[in-house]
Amino acid sequence: MQSPCESHHSFFYGVPYLFYWNTTSRNPIIKVQDSYNIIRFWAHNGLLILGLLIAALNFLVQFCAPAAYGKHAPLKVTCPVEVRLSNIFAHFIPGLLIFTVMYFLSGNNLLGITNIILYSLFTVHYLFRGLLAPLMFRYSHSRLSARIPLTTFLLNTIYHCTNADFIGSVFYCKGYFYDPRFIIGALLFVIGLIINWSADIQLILLRTSRHDKDYILPRGVLFSLISCPNYFGECVEWLGWTIATWSLAGLIWWLYVVSVLGTRAIHNHNWYKDQFSSYPQRRKAIIPFIY
């Protein structure tokens, strides 16, 4: 019998798994494993459909009004919770703990080298985003409404479970390691990560201490082109993830991230223009030279 990996270079190499359920030898990215049953199929795909609907709804809601924290915080916070703990709860637990448990519990191919690399990329992002960044940020408001971390926690859990389930059980043939999708996707992820981290660190350094609450006009590197390079970097990262994993789970997560950060970038950009009369006219919101 022909091995599924023998047809690496066929046209069908990497066509999203959904279209090749119970795949044949033509598709070397193989989702089906022995324990992959119909309940799990619908749990996975049901969450993907839900995730897509949430991304669309979230775009509309956040486009009309930004989430009420930071620059857009209300004067009076209802049901306040501590900002650093809230961020760790909303990002570290789903991004690192739940993602890892799901990867190890549901994965049938979690020791594949490509799977391990993808797992590492995801968790490295969340080590910074979920733990180091909340501890290092010099927040202007020490409290935010409990509604924000609770909703974020729930939504992150939905998206991260589908991604962990996918990369824990998908079978990437050896050749996929050299595939343009893997190389380009992983490169984009790393470039996006560097942009995201360095922009976040630039923002931290704008304030002199944790007691400093002033807003300063950021300048230099990507800030000379866009108002929110940290958001731009994160969108590039997850686009890279989508390409490298070649998955619907990655695509739907990326759409959600764009719906959150793309809309908030517009509100932040308008906020900067209102607050700073000298705000550079040529600076865009999130995509250099374009938007």
Q: Which residues here bind ligand NAP, judged by CB under 6 A?
A: 70-71, 129, 137-141, 196, 200, 203, 206-207, 215-216, 218, 230-231, 234, 257, 260-261
What is the Cα–Cα distance from 93 to 149, expressed in whole angstroms?
Answer: 11
Short-list 216, 219, 220, 195, CA closest to 206: 216
**Residue with Cβ nearer ligand NAP (44 or 269):** 269
> Considering the complex, what minimum distance in angstroms separates the CB of residue 50 from ligand NAP?
16
- Which residue's Cβ lies closest to ligand NAP? 70
Q: How far is the CB of 151 from ligand NAP (least distance, A)?
A: 11
Alpha carbons 285 and 225: distance in angstroms, whole number: 8
CA separation, residue 144 to residues 24, 85, 87, 233 (Å): 51, 11, 10, 25
- Cβ-based neighbours of 244, under 8 Å, separated by 6 or more: 118, 121, 181, 182, 184, 185, 186, 188, 189, 250
Of 126 and 166, the one with the shorter C-beta distance to ligand NAP is: 126
- Phi first, then psi, for residue 172 (nearest 5°) are -95, 125
- Least distance (Å) between residue 204 CB and ligand NAP: 6
Q: Tell me which DSSP letter residue 290 carries.
A: T
3-state secondary structure of 225: coil
- Structure-token match 């990507």, residue found: 222
C-beta of 162: minimal distance to ligand NAP in Å?
15
165 vs 200, beta carbon nearer ligand NAP: 200
Q: Which is nearer to ligand NAP, 5 or 124 (CB)?
A: 124
Cβ at position 166, least distance to ligand NAP in Å: 18
Minimal distance, residue 260 CB to ligand NAP, in Å: 4
What is the rounded distance in angstroms from the CA atom of residue 230 to the CA atom of residue 272? Answer: 15
Joined together, the tokens standing for residue 102 give 């799901």
Smaller CB separation from ligand NAP, 179 or 234: 234
Identify which of residues 183 and 212 has a Cβ nearer to ligand NAP in the complex.
212
